[in-house]
Amino acid sequence: MRRPVLIAVLLAGCSSPAPREVYISIGADAIGTAHGVASLHGARIQMVETDGVVAVLAYDEAELEALSHAMHEQHARCGGYMVHDSLADARASLQRPADGGEVDYTLDRAAMVRTVLPTIDGAAILGTISELSAMKNRYYRSATGAAASIWLRDRWRSFTIRPDVTIELVDHGYAQKSVILTIPGTSRADEVIVIGGHLDSIAVGGKAANAPGADDDASGIATLTEVARVLLAHDVRPARTIKLMAYAAEEVGLRGSLSIARDYQKRKVKVVGALQLDMTNYQGSDRDIWLMKDFTSAAQNRFLIRLIDGYVGATWGWDACGYACSDHASWNRIGVPASMPFESRMSQRNTKIHTRDDTLELSGNNAAHAVKFARLAAAYAIELGKGDLGGAQVGSTAPSSSSSLPWKLIAVVMAFAAIWLARRRRR
Ligand SMILES: [Zn+2]
């Protein structure tokens, strides 16, 4: 990406914000929106710095929820801004590094992909969306938002008894926690692949609101969940480490993903690719999968197109969604190749998100569209993760040796042998 000319608009007295202020970064095209929200309530807002693409503002924390709604209404961005824990972190948003560049985007695991993909189950995705959207809301500060984290951790835990596969809750200092499932790499464990979606939902009213978020983003979490299920059911043993992440608090400034990405950057964890699944089950356009070309990796996007054409069997197109439109932006800002495949053209998006009407009915009570994204994400995990299939059985979430395929074969052979012996004795 072009290195923009910095226009410093440093204002006096903004080196540390007032108690209720936080530093946010937001698309420069949305400065007017931020001003509009603040002035509506007489709240303070200060421009710290902008480079014409991104702006850093000191902003009243109490106005963030209203800003989320305005960003959604006026710019169709889910999130739409980043909340930073320091001025330095906010200003780092203006230093956008080129992404990590070409990884080995080879397609050489066709047999593995073609074994795993047919077992992706639309009914399972539908079931997960239905359970998540039945919660009153998954707001980051609500009790049900917190319960959603525990629910998801337990669901993911039920998929395997493999001791090397871990599922953790990440505490960010508010009720809802991010959930991370890790399948450790065998030979290149220090290279990490992230596939994510956001667990929280939002509607006007925050904690008290009815926010089913069936599409935004129970669909992405359900897609991710099905990817976890099939990878583990097939006992996938990737060369690289695969991490599936359900982020907390995306709707209020990408907070969960930002804090995880910041931590990985600090610890120098090498993330070779990040894929975001935010809204996968509302087919609003004539083509299936829309790749966002802004604030994403061109090289990884081209890799996704090869996966779609080669394995997914779906149509695709290009679109753009603006600064910080979802959690991939948290990875993009630290130089990780990131992509955001979306369910429709932004201009034909699901207009019911962030309301009580974001329900499964809008998707015809089926998960046919989300299945395409699950196929893409599973193919991405396998072809970027490399590695092989392990020896455990397919079809059950927790392997049980008595019913595994080799045992069934042995049982059949022994039964035939017994019949043959019995007949011989009779002769
Ligand atoms: Zn979303």
Query: What is this structure's pTM?
Result: 0.86
Is the domain of 138 the same as that of 238?
A: yes
| φ, ψ of residue 67 in degrees (nearest 5) | -65, -40
Give the domain CATH number at 48.
3.30.70.240
Q: Cα dist. 161→157, 316, 395, 400 in Å?
A: 8, 37, 14, 10
Is the domain of 147 the same as that of 191?
A: yes
Of 66, 92, 118, the one marking the end of a domain is 92
Is the domain of 132 the same as that of 86?
A: no
CA of 254 to the centre of ligand 1 (A): 10
Find the farthest-apart pair of alpha carbons in the chain and give their distance in angstroms, rounded: 105
**What is the C-alpha to C-alpha distance for residues 47 and 225, in angstroms, rounded to an integer?**
40
Of 58, 92, 126, the one marking the end of a domain is 92
Whether 402 is covered by a domain: the verdict is no
Is the domain of 116 the same as that of 45?
A: no
CA of 196 to the centre of ligand 1 (A): 11
Whether 153 is covered by a domain: the verdict is yes
Range of the domain at 152: 110-389
Q: How far apart are the first and last CA of the chain?
A: 84
Is the domain of 167 the same as that of 56?
A: no
Alpha helices in 76-185 (DSSP H): 87-92, 110-116, 122-133, 143-157
Q: Where is 247: in which H helix or E strand?
A: strand 240-247
Of 244, 230, 205, 241, give the one whose Cα is nearest residue 121: 230
Q: What is the pLDDT of residue 3?
A: 32
- pLDDT tens figures, 79-119: 789 999 899 999 998 887 777 666 889 999 999 999 999 99
Q: Does 198 qualify as catalytic in the annotation?
A: yes
CA of 246 to the centre of ligand 1 (A): 12
Whether 205 is covered by a domain: the verdict is yes
Between strands 388-389 and 236-237, the pairing is: antiparallel
CA of 78 to the centre of ligand 1 (A): 5
Q: What is the pLDDT of residue 97?
A: 77
Q: Does 354 qualify as catalytic in the annotation?
A: yes
Whether 103 is covered by a domain: the verdict is no
Of 195, 206, 245, 201, give the one whose Cα is nearest residue 374: 195
Judge whether 327 and 253 are in contact, CB under 8 Å.
no
Average pLDDT, the chain: 89
CA of 182 to the centre of ligand 1 (A): 23
- Pick out the chain residues at pLDDT < 50: 1-17, 395-408, 411, 427
Beta bridge pairs of residue 236:
389
Q: Which residues are close to ligand 1, an ion, with C-beta < 5 A?
A: 78, 216-217, 278
Of 242, 280, 265, 241, give the one whose Cα is nearest residue 330: 265
- List the catalytic residue out of 198, 234, 328, 369: 198
Judge whether 378 and 119 are in contact, CB under 8 Å.
no
Of 64, 77, 28, 85, give the one whose Cα is nearest residue 329: 77
Of 171, 244, 213, give the one whose Cα is nearest residue 362: 213
CA of 336 to the centre of ligand 1 (A): 20
Whether 401 is covered by a domain: the verdict is no
Of 244, 276, 279, 226, give the one whose Cα is nearest residue 116: 226
Is the domain of 247 the same as that of 354?
A: yes
Q: What is the pLDDT of residue 9?
A: 36
Q: Does 216 qualify as catalytic in the annotation?
A: yes
- List the catalytic residue out of 65, 99, 250, 343: 250
Is the domain of 70 the same as that of 128?
A: no
CA of 343 to the centre of ligand 1 (A): 11
Is the domain of 56 the same as that of 134?
A: no
Is the domain of 178 the same as that of 42?
A: no
Whether 172 is covered by a domain: the verdict is yes
For the chain, the domain total comes to 2
Is the domain of 68 the same as that of 137?
A: no
Is the domain of 307 the same as that of 373?
A: yes
Q: What is the pLDDT of residue 399?
A: 37
Whether 332 is covered by a domain: the verdict is yes
| φ, ψ of residue 188 in degrees (nearest 5) | -130, 50
- List the catalytic residue out of 63, 65, 226, 278: 278
Of 292, 290, 192, give the one whose Cα is nearest residue 244: 192
- List the catalytic residue out of 354, 358, 369, 383: 354
Is the domain of 254 the same as that of 302?
A: yes
Whether 99 is covered by a domain: the verdict is no
Give the domain CATH number at 170.
3.40.630.10
Beta bridge pairs of residue 183:
242
